[in-house]
Amino acid sequence: NAGVTQTPKFQVLKTGQSMTLQCAQDMNHNSMYWYRQDPGMGLRLIYYSASEGTTDKGEVPNGYNVSRLNKREFSLRLESAAPSQTSVYFCASRYRSGQTSTDTQYFGPGTRLTVL
């Protein structure tokens, strides 16, 4: 069981370049999430997918797009990277059963992105 995996671990982009961050989970979770983490700002939700086939905006969606490719995979795309998108990006997944006492959310190891 690998849990939540993310690729790449590190990336440096130039302003205007595009890239896709990949995320996969092998826990049969229905919900998946993308967060960004900046110093002093905590974890801010970019987009989420409550179930396969659905995606919704979070708190800071501008400049990003997402694709829920299948139940396992949820990718985040930066179409035209900007220095303000320099951050650590975490993917997470969770099984929403309606019994919240067991609905633990698990995080991937993160992608450290620098936009020059």
Could you tell me if 45 and 105 are in contact, meaning their C-beta atoms sit under 8 angstroms apart?
A: no
The stretch among 21-29, 63-71, 79-87, 106-114 that binds other proteins (CB under 8 A) is 106-114
Q: Which C-beta is closer to other proteins: that of 33 or that of 64?
A: 33
The per-residue DSSP string of 10-70 comes to EEEE-TT--EEEEEEE-S--SEEEEEEEETTTEEEEEEEESSTT--EE-S--TTEEEEE-S
| Residue among 18, 96, 114, 116 that touches other proteins (CB under 8 A) | 96
Q: Is 66 in the site for other proteins (CB under 8 A)?
A: no
Contact set with other proteins (CB under 8 A): 31, 33, 35, 40-45, 48, 50, 56, 58-59, 90, 96, 98, 100-101, 103-110
